[in-house]
Structure 1
Amino acid sequence: MTTEFEIIEKEKIASLSFPHEEVLHEHTAIKQRGSDLNRALSLGNLEHAKIKIYFEDDHSKKVVETTVWGVTDSRVILKQGNGIPINRIIKLE
């Protein structure tokens, strides 16, 4: 990706604002994100492994390295109950 992502600490995610619009526009990309979320959840719960989540809030694109503790229909749950709306996640690594 050519766009720069600002690194953010997971503790600051709670203070961010997220629009309701979807950041991905292709069905295949949205489907891949779902698969990546399931993999991240397994890694987080079984191995406590950290992953990078690339996302966009109402100001800019950001990246956080963290453990995924849960996934709901609309949010990814991180440590301390912080979350990122799934529709704002660009990709996971």
Structure 2
Amino acid sequence: MDHHTLQHVEKEAIPALHFSRSEVLPPNPEFHDKRRQLLFQAMILGNTYHSKVRIIFETIEGLCQVETTIWATTEHYVLLKGGVHLPIWCIHDVILP
């Protein structure tokens, strides 16, 4: 995946985006576990140091990226600063600082 061709999205624009209900990662538990670990680490960084991470995610329009702080994760969603939520099944990667 070429991270330089992704559309940059502001966190505030995420609620207006359209997401597929399909999982974007291959059906390999290792990929899903790695994503969960990265999201957990990003949440700790966000809550402890207010550090922003880069999230690579997919909408029905294409691949996007957002730089933001992750405040919490649930079973199906990531909660971002400002009350914005992002479906976990649409996240390809989390890039930590």
For residues 56 and 34 of structure 1, the distance between their equivalents in structure 2, rounded to whole angstroms, comes to 17
Which one of the candidate residues 56, 59, 72 is aligned to 2:58?
56
What secondary structure is seen at the aligned counterpart in 1 of 2:82?
helix
Bigger drift between 63-72 and 24-33 goes to 24-33
TM-score when scaled to structure 1? 0.95
TM-score when scaled to structure 2? 0.91
- For residues 1-93 of structure 1, the aligned pairs below 5 Å read 1-2=1-2, 4-25=5-26, 26-93=28-95
| Superposed CA RMSD | 1.0
For residues 16 and 35 of structure 2, the distance between their equivalents in structure 1, rounded to whole angstroms, comes to 24
What secondary structure is seen at the aligned counterpart in 1 of 2:54?
strand
Name the % identity.
37
Which ranges in structure 2 are unaligned for 5 or more consecutive residues?
none
For residues 19 and 8 of structure 2, the distance between their equivalents in structure 1, rounded to whole angstroms, comes to 17
For residues 5 and 83 of structure 1, the distance between their equivalents in structure 2, rounded to whole angstroms, comes to 20
Aligned length: 93
